[in-house]
């Protein structure tokens, strides 16, 4: 049947002035990924239904000083879609 599959992954990140460009000490972008898997027992395999990647540290000014004070901020990644899924 048709199923609406959805998920929300919430996270808290503490960024400092060193992270102002959204990169870690090695110059890599700091990111958070979120993936939803489907496991088919009849086939013994898992498939990725959907995924998302998001930058963990915002680049640029914020309305408050949470970014500058190192207190961090909260955000979320939302995934959702309709799939035709069968039993087994």
What's the pLDDT score for residue 40? 82
- Contacting residues for 55 by C-beta, under 8 A, at least 6 apart: 22, 29, 30, 31
What's the pLDDT score for residue 67? 47
Q: What is the pLDDT of residues 38-86, one digit of tens each?
A: 988 877 889 999 999 888 776 555 555 444 445 566 788 899 999 998 8
1, 84 in Cβ contact below 8 A?
A: yes
Q: So where are the chain's domains?
A: 2-84
How far is 31 from 8, CA to CA, in rounded Å? 16
Pick the CATH number of 2-84 from 3.50.50.60, 1.20.120.1760, 3.40.50.2300, 2.60.120.40: 2.60.120.40
Distances (CA, A) of 70 to 12, 13, 29, 30, 73: 11, 9, 18, 15, 9
């Amino acid at each position: 049947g048709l199923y609406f599959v959805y998920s929300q992954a919430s996270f808290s990140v503490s960024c400092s002035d060193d992270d102002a460009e959204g990169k870690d000490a090695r110059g890599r972008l700091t990111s958070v990924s979120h993936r939803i898997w489907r496991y088919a027992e009849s086939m013994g395999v898992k498939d990725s239904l959907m995924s998302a990647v998001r930058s963990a540290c915002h680049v640029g000014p914020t309305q408050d000083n949470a970014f500058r004070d190192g207190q961090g901020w909260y955000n979320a990644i939302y995934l959702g879609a309709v799939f035709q899924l069968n039993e087994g």
